[in-house]
Chains A and B, each alone.
Chain A
Amino acid sequence: GENVEQHPSTLSVQEGDSAVIKCTYSDSASNYFPWYKQELGKGPQLIIDIRSNVGEKKDQRIAVTLNKTAKHFSLHITETQPEDSAVYFCAAPGDSSASKIIFGSGTRLSIRP
């Protein structure tokens, strides 16, 4: 089955700086990679995703890059703001039926004022 590794587990950046979170996956057949954001006391929420037929996708201050050869993908947040403080999870398909996703272990991002 798929295995997703995520790092770092915690990340602290100055407001206005950029943050990068990296994930690796094990199944070369995986072709869909979402990122979820979990704010304190809430459930995770999808913020961006990428399919394997593209190498990069942007949505305002967030972007995701994918390197299929190396089997890793990354979340980039630019011009960080206090509301970016949260736990971020990467994910990948859990099996060939695509009926589940496997989450990474999460990254707690803190934005310093």
Chain B
Amino acid sequence: DTAVSQTPKYLVTQMGNDKSIKCEQNLGHDTMYWYKQDSKKFLKIMFSYNNKELIINETVPNRFSPKSPDKAHLNLHINSLELGDSAVYFCASSRRRRTGDGDTQYFGPGTRLTVL
């Protein structure tokens, strides 16, 4: 019973390509997130959706576009991939949107993106 799942687990692609990462949660949570973790393990939030509504959009290049078809899914599409996009991308979910007030975040296993 995987709570938060991501596909694919590994993604290797060439510069300039477009790719998508999919995320699904079966916890019934209202809020989902995308994080980027670089090679130094820094974990930085990119986007957050609450009931399909975008609530957090950090300073991320507009080549990154999240899409939430329903509250159980949050996908990440990346256009014109660059070398600096290589990282591990984590999806997470929380029951409500107040993660800074006690709503635990549940993370997926991550997608390791390598841009050649």
Are B42 and A106 within 8 A (Cβ)? yes
The verdict on B104 contacting chain A, using a C-beta distance below 8 Å, is yes
Interface size on A, residues (CB 8 A): 30
Are A106 and B41 within 8 A (Cβ)? yes
With A89-B43, A100-B45, A103-B43: A45-B107 Cβ-Cβ less than 8 Å: yes
Interface locus among B12-20, B66-74, B77-85, B91-99: B91-99
Contacts of B98 in A (CB 8 A): 98-99
Interface residues in B92-114 by Cβ distance below 8 A to A read 92, 97-102, 104-110
Are B4 and A43 within 8 A (Cβ)? yes
With A43-B90, A43-B109: A99-B100 Cβ-Cβ less than 8 Å: yes
Contacts of A95 in B (CB 8 A): 100
A16 to B22, CA, bound (A): 41
Contacting residue for B102 out of A32, A38, A100, CB 8 A: A32
How many inter-chain residue pairs (CB < 8 Å) link A and B?
73
Contacts of B40 in A (CB 8 A): 105
Are B109 and A42 within 8 A (Cβ)? yes
Are A100 and B48 within 8 A (Cβ)? yes
B104's nearest neighbour on chain A, judged by CB, is: A46
Contacts of B107 in A (CB 8 A): 42-45
Interface size on B, residues (CB 8 A): 27
The verdict on A109 contacting chain B, using a C-beta distance below 8 Å, is no
With A42-B110, A44-B107, A45-B107: A99-B97 Cβ-Cβ less than 8 Å: yes
Are B109 and A100 within 8 A (Cβ)? no
Interface residues in A68-113 by Cβ distance below 8 A to B read 87, 89, 92-95, 97-103, 105-106, 108
Are A51 and B110 within 8 A (Cβ)? no
Are B105 and A99 within 8 A (Cβ)? no
Contacts of B44 in A (CB 8 A): 103
17 CB < 8 A contacts A-B: A38-B41, A42-B110, A43-B108, A43-B110, A46-B105, A49-B104, A87-B41, A94-B45, A99-B50, A99-B55, A99-B56, A99-B98, A100-B33, A101-B45, A103-B43, A105-B40, A106-B42
